[in-house]
Amino acid sequence: MKRGNGFTLLELLVAIGIFALISAMAYGSLIRLMDDRVRLESEHDFWRSLSLTFTRLEEDFSQARERSIRDVIGFTQPAFRGQPTDTRAVAPPSVEFTRGGVLSFGDDRRIDLQRVAYRLIDGTLMRLTWPVLDLGPQTAPVETPILTHVEEFQVRFYAPAGAWLNVWPTDGIPDILPRGVEVKLKLTGRGEFTRVLLVNG
């Protein structure tokens, strides 16, 4: 008996099975590729955010100026001050100082100065800026988030005499700028990152 030119049912089932197997392998490879891409983009975003954070800190510290301010009560505050991190809502920032080099379109050269601070709020490193140097009763800072998932934000200050201090200024040191600041960031699931940044460099 002469066989027809079509496929038998068995041949068709085998072909469908091979096609399904190849499709499953291709789909699995596609899923892994997409997962790898997501992880790669996540890593890229993390390192970019961390790099921009340290760049922002470095730029601010390098523009620090010896210009003290008056607080809302009228008391003089140092041009540069810092202390260990205190996460209470009413606590002062970890570091606060006057910086120059702020772009200004006015005629008064003094307005290129700005009061800047950094503090940790609910796991987010915030950059604070004030619209004026000498504060009034209604003066409030603008808070800008810089980095998230921050567990710890610690700063130390390098004195001109060559010692690291946890508080600036401190007894026996006049109201001048430190030579450098050590910044330590502990990030959730990422460990610690430490940089030493020059002040008014």
pLDDT tens sequence across 81-116: 999 988 777 788 999 999 997 766 555 555 689 999
Q: Give me the domains of the chain, ranges plus CATH numbers.
A: 60-198 (3.10.610.10)
- Specify which residues 156 forms β-bridges with: 182
* pLDDT(185) > 80: yes
Provide the mean pLDDT of the chain: 86
Taking only the tens place, the pLDDT of each residue in 18-48 is: 877 887 777 777 777 777 777 778 888 999 9
For position 23, what pLDDT does the model report?
Answer: 78
Q: Are 131 and 56 in contact (CB under 8 A)?
A: no
Q: CA-to-CA distance for 60 and 82, rounded, in angstroms?
A: 14
What is the chain's alpha carbon radius of gyration, rounded to the nearest angstrom? 29
Q: How many of the other CB atoms lie within 10 Å of CB of 182?
A: 15
Question: Looking at residues 154-159, what average pLDDT do you find?
Answer: 95
pLDDT, tens digit, for every residue of 42-69?
888 999 999 999 999 999 999 999 999 9
What is the maximal distance between C-alpha atoms in the chain? 112
Distance, CA of 140 to CA of 158 (rounded, Å): 30
CA dihedral 73, 133, 163, 182 (to 10 degrees): 120
Span of 15-29, 64-78, 126-140 with lowest mean pLDDT: 15-29
* pLDDT at position 118: 97
